[in-house]
Structure 1
Amino acid sequence: MTELSYRMVEMPIRSGAMRRWVAHLRRQRDPGPRRIIATGAAACVGLVAFAGVNMATAELKQNDIQESLEDADDFVATLPPTLPPTLPPTSISDGGPTQTSGDPSPTTPATPGATTIPSTTDVQGTEPSTEPTESPPTSVVPTTEPNSTAPSAPSANRVAIGDSVMKGAAPALVEDYDFLVYAAESRSFDAGIDVVEALDREGALGDVVVIQLGVNQNPLEQSDVDRMAEALEKVPRVLFVTNRYAKDYVYGQNAMFRALPERYANIEVLDWADVGNSCPGECYYGDNLHLAPDGMEFYADQIAEALSLE
């Protein structure tokens, strides 16, 4: 409709065609053309107003999506701080939690009770005492208590890894079903593999892992999907969630996901591309992809039902 307004209203006005046409009608004695002018003017005003409202609504819808993702920030887990330096920071920070590059150099604590060996002569040039140096009191022995400010590794048995679609539902997944959610905006499938491998090295994958990724990566190769599946082979239950997005490349990805249970005994599939169409209420924002409030709850409930969780 915005394009129609541009072609039928703005362009004729700019070229002068509208002005010449109106002048011609005004010269006519018949009152009919004047009514045409009035009707046309009203229609033009309506088109312009509609276009303006449409643009404002589109911006509002985008703001709604962003606000919902910001609301979910407090429910999204951060990755363990002890990621190996060999893990490319950009692969996980691509829309995901920010990672620091490299590990801090550890400092070696002083050995309790260690003493300084005296020099052979003192400042006055006299011979040093041969008496043994008194050991420091036990009260100054360095404590072995861990730093209370250091974040601990995740310990949840239920882990969910995804992109912004899953992130929107993070509050429901966390509060209703005790998931630890690693979801980030714009996360690609390959970046998700890096997250899985990093959590695996930390022993933090848990007994149940849910994966929903792919929309942010085109093309996605079968080798990428297999690499993800192999990284999850030690997890007892893995649930792949298909993507509900009307794009040809997504249809191809979903086909690969649906075939996984035939090759990997620990993998199940929730066909969100199909199930998501039966969501009741206000389920999606204007892009028909990101989840609105009713959709967030329905999404979390469907994952829990697929895994028989309570």
Structure 2
Amino acid sequence: MPSLRPARYPGLDGLRAIAVALVVIYHLFPGSPLRSGFVGVDVFFVVSGFLITSLLLQSSPAGRLGSRASLVDFWTRRARRLLPALGLVVTTCATAAWFIGGDVLVDLGRQVLGAATFSYNWVSLTSGADYFAATSPELFRNLWSLAVEEQFYVLWPLLLPLLLMVRRSGARIALALVAAAGSAWWMAQLAAAGDVTRGYYGTDSHAFGILLGIALAITGLGRIEHEWMLRPAARRSAAVLGVAGLAAIATSALLPETPDAATFPGSLLLASLGTIGVVVASVWPQARFGIRLDIAPLRWIGDRSYGIYLWHWPVLVLVVAATSGGSVDLRVPPTAAAVTLVLTLVLAALSYRFIEMPIRRRGLRASIRSLVRAFGGRPARRFAALTISSVIILSIAGTVVSITTAPAESSAAATIRAGQRALEQATATPSPAPTESLTGGLPGAPSPTPAPSSDGSDMIAIGDSVMLASAPALLARFPGIAVDAEVSRSMWTGTEIVSALASGGDLRETVVVGLGTNGAIDDEALDQIAASISPRRDLILVNAYAPRDWIPGVNEQLAAFAAAHVGVVVADWSAAIAPRPDLLAEDLVHPGDAGGELFADAVDQAIRDVTVERQEARKREKAAASLLEEARDALRQLAG
């Protein structure tokens, strides 16, 4: 006969430590081998599904499961566990964001609303947020996964009694597994349709890890012992499964991230199944796997894993914004990563010691009463109570001020929108005459630009969001230029555009291509662009400037290609803007008005360079023709 066991789950703290370490390393050190470290979130999901279901099944007899008393008790305990730390992180970081200012405040009201209503993932989706886009920093982006878990905590105690109406345990497990398979299939469909963020954020499409944990809990593992489970061979098999599970988690974290079903849900499923193996080995009766996994350092991290996960992302965003600017999606300086790691561990430890544990033990109302009583105690207690109260009041006030003063859009979005307006106006009104460079009056900027090399009537420019942000300056410098620029274009998109323009007879004498910002390029794409352009036309390749690891390689390829082809030159935007990053938006990619002038300067100089190159090529051709004619004359004289 099976015997009931107490609710003790060794190994889960160590497993949580591994999960949070994967996520933190992935975010703080993007150049590390953990290219898919975000799978740590799925480890958390499996653990939550298993642990919460096991506790519900053990703490509530079948007749009381789902009763009002048991539900209130469960939700009260969850609230004590989650809300104090969450409220502290949101209000403190929102207030810090107000002091820093700029892009970290963008859309802050929506983010706080999502955090307060346990719906961050859905609020983000309805606003069009993209988890995988390198845009302006989103201060509380990591709260999407907490929202998924909170929705699970609210709904699952209501649904579990319905599942228990199915009498056979095997059928219950099968239902949970079918639901998990359906969730994973739905994520794969969304990824195949190009909507990875919807698949990743969606509670429905990302529930498979939680459902797998539920299926494992329904088996009774961790609560019920069978005699066969105590046999040495069974314990050894469980240990092997645990080792294999750890290997699966590590493998999934090391796999490259791809925007398709290979990662979503492929890598996530691998991590989830590996977590199942680790949980089985950890809670197996009389097994030592879980005890070994709960070594002191991992247990310390595991106990504070919730706080570490909450703090690490907003602290990283704030540190990067305060020290070097830009988006953490584009660049995380090593110093900022190190500072963030230290701050995260300190803040998580303090929160655990002084906020989370006291409220979990005494409850929120008792903690408030204790704080009020402290004002009548010894001077040290009064000082502590005054400090805590002041921090709470200032944080709440700072959050309100941050939300009300937050800009409507990021600085990069503003520059891009200005470029779009300029293009729209250019099609509706006559182009203005060329003007002097706006950078001429800025400290350290170049002197006013001489007369432009072209009026633009013979120029067409094809580019990405950097060129789009520079469109006002291009239109001012070259009034007749045609600009075709959009966000998130790559060089391969350029091959299609140039080919279509050539087929329609719409190419002009000078073709400017600026498509190196959004990914690596290869010679095949450049060859296709050059092949679509008549050798008589000039091709200007604008190189790239951005805090992205592929940029140096892109610029080297563009320079080598230009050196090997007559009539192809590089507009050195990178060299022009490198000394003046202050002329870029906070993402350190998109130029403002003055930065756009430098972009136009680089294009103007490239046109002058290609003109000189053409002239020198013609001189060489004439010299070669003259030498050939002289040789022919000499041969004729010898023959005569």
* Distance in 2, Cα, partners of 1:51 & 1:225: 50
1:206 pairs with 508, 527, 532, which one? 508
Q: Does the 8 A contact of 2:416 with 2:468 survive in 1?
A: no
Task: Answer yes or no: is 1:188 the counterpart of 2:490.
Answer: yes
* Distance in 1, Cα, partners of 2:569 & 2:399: 46
Q: Which residue of 1 aligns with 2:566?
A: 265
Task: Answer yes or no: is 1:32 the counterpart of 2:380.
Answer: yes
Q: Which residue of 1 aligns with 2:409?
A: 60
Distance 1:52 1:68, change over 3 A: farther
Q: Does the 8 A contact of 1:160 with 1:209 survive in 2?
A: yes
* Distance in 1, Cα, partners of 2:514 & 2:386: 55
After superposition, what is the alpha-carbon deviation per residue over 1:245-267, rounded to whole angstroms, capped at 9, x for unaligned?
11112332222112112211111
1:277 pairs with 552, 575, 578, which one? 578
Amino acid at match of 1:61: S
What are the equivalent positions in structure 2 for 1:67-78 lying under 5 Å apart?
A: 67-74=417-424
Q: Which residue of 2 aligns with 1:300?
A: 600
What are the equivalent positions in structure 2 for 1:85-234 lying under 5 Å apart?
A: 156-178=457-479, 179-216=481-518, 218-234=519-535
* Distance in 2, Cα, partners of 1:53 & 1:257: 47
Q: Which residue of 2 aligns with 1:136?
A: none
Q: SS state of the match for residue 206, structure 1?
A: coil
Q: SS state of the match for residue 578, structure 2?
A: helix
Q: How many residues align?
A: 230
Task: Answer yes or no: is 1:247 the counterpart of 2:548.
Answer: yes
Write 1 or 2 for the structure with the bigger share of helix.
2
* Distance in 2, Cα, partners of 1:34 & 1:27: 5
Q: SS state of the match for residue 278, structure 1?
A: coil
* Distance in 1, Cα, partners of 2:395 & 2:457: 55
Q: CA deviation at 1:68?
A: 1.6
| TM-score in terms of structure 2 length | 0.32
Q: SS state of the match for residue 492, structure 2?
A: helix
Amino acid at match of 1:23: S
Listed as ranges, the gaps of 5+ residues in structure 2 are 1-92, 95-309, 316-346, 428-455, 610-640
Q: CA deviation at 1:209?
A: 1.6
Identity of aligned residues (%): 23
* Distance in 2, Cα, partners of 1:222 & 1:53: 51
What RMSD over aligned residues (CA atoms) do the two structures have, in Å?
A: 3.6
Q: CA deviation at 1:32?
A: 2.7
Distance 1:202 1:306, change over 3 A: same
* Distance in 1, Cα, partners of 2:399 & 2:607: 46
* Distance in 2, Cα, partners of 1:252 & 1:54: 40
Amino acid at match of 2:585: Y
Q: Does the 8 A contact of 2:416 with 2:469 survive in 1?
A: no
After superposition, what is the alpha-carbon deviation per residue over 1:137-189, rounded to whole angstroms, capped at 9, x for unaligned?
xxxxxxxxxxxxxxxxxx93111110121112222212322322121222222
Listed as ranges, the gaps of 5+ residues in structure 1 are 78-154
Q: Does the 8 A contact of 1:212 with 1:240 survive in 2?
A: yes
* Distance in 1, Cα, partners of 2:575 & 2:608: 19
* Distance in 2, Cα, partners of 1:224 & 1:174: 27
